[in-house]
């Protein structure tokens, strides 16, 4: 399973991430802090693999509406080389979020665009938007995420799409993501508490004891 961490300018943390082959999750905010330059570089100057989030979570935390201009600015600068891009969404917005996402999908020219699923959505709601080159980004509230993690994993397997889980910051949730069949996860723990990187990395090498068809639960 691939691990993504938020971009940081702390050299020691970047070195630790690079040594363990983590990747970076960029956003309009992190790109703005770097002034749009060298946003996807390790400390030795080599290119760091990265994905591009749309910035909706940051806007939500700051109590602001989604900033489409900031997203387009980031997409124009680094979207082309991102491993995947998250289409615009509304945190906790349910079907309103899905409506916003659907209006953006055809505008984003990229090999892999992820649809952020939020509280209240079901696989039946999302299924009409799925086609080659699209995947699932499990967002939403923590309670809803943990409750539906297996459901979205099953859906991703059924349609054969990429499955990413956001805000995974503990060993327990890494194991849940593995059991649900996620190809990748992201979190901020590695940036906020670099001492956790080794422990989190170790968890990715431990095979889930449960069948991929019957993902484990957090209980």
Q: How far apart are CA 153 and CA 105, in angstroms?
A: 21
Sign for the CA dihedral angle at 143, 145, 150, 152 comes to positive
Q: Which fold has domain 2-204?
A: TIM Barrel (3.20.20)
3-state secondary structure of 165: strand
Report the pLDDT value the prediction gives residue 145, as an integer from 0 to 100: 96
Q: Which residues contact 123 (CB under 8 A, 6 or more apart)?
A: 151, 152, 155
Residues of the chain with pLDDT under 70: 36-39, 206-219
Report the pLDDT value the prediction gives residue 196, as an integer from 0 to 100: 94
- pTM value is 0.92
Closest CA to 89 of 76, 102, 77, 80: 102
pLDDT digits (tens, 9 = 90+) for 28-74: 998 988 776 655 788 888 999 999 999 998 888 888 888 999 999 99
Report the pLDDT value the prediction gives residue 208, as an integer from 0 to 100: 67
């Amino acid at each position: 399973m691939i691990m993504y961490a938020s971009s940081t300018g702390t050299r020691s943390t970047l070195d630790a991430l690079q040594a363990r082959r983590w990747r970076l999750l960029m956003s309009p905010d992190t790109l703005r802090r770097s002034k749009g330059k060298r946003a996807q570089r390790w400390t030795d100057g080599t290119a760091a693999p990265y994905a591009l989030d749309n910035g909706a979570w940051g806007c939500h935390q700051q109590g602001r509406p989604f900033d489409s201009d900031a997203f387009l600015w980031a997409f124009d600068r680094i979207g082309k080389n991102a491993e995947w891009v998250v289409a615009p969404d509304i945190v906790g917005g349910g079907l309103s979020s899905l409506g916003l996402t659907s209006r953006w999908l055809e505008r984003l020219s990229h090999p892999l665009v992820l649809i952020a699923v939020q509280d209240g959505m079901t696989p039946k709601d999302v299924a009409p938007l799925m086609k080659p080159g699209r995947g699932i980004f499990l967002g939403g509230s923590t309670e809803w995420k943990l409750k539906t993690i297996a459901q979205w994993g099953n859906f991703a397997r059924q349609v054969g799409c990429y499955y990413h889980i956001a805000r995974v910051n503990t060993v327990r949730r890494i194991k849940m993501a593995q059991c649900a069949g996620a190809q990748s996860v992201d979190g901020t723990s590695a940036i906020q508490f670099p001492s956790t990187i080794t422990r989190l990395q170790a968890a990715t090498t431990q095979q889930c004891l449960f069948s991929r068809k019957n993902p484990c639960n957090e209980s």
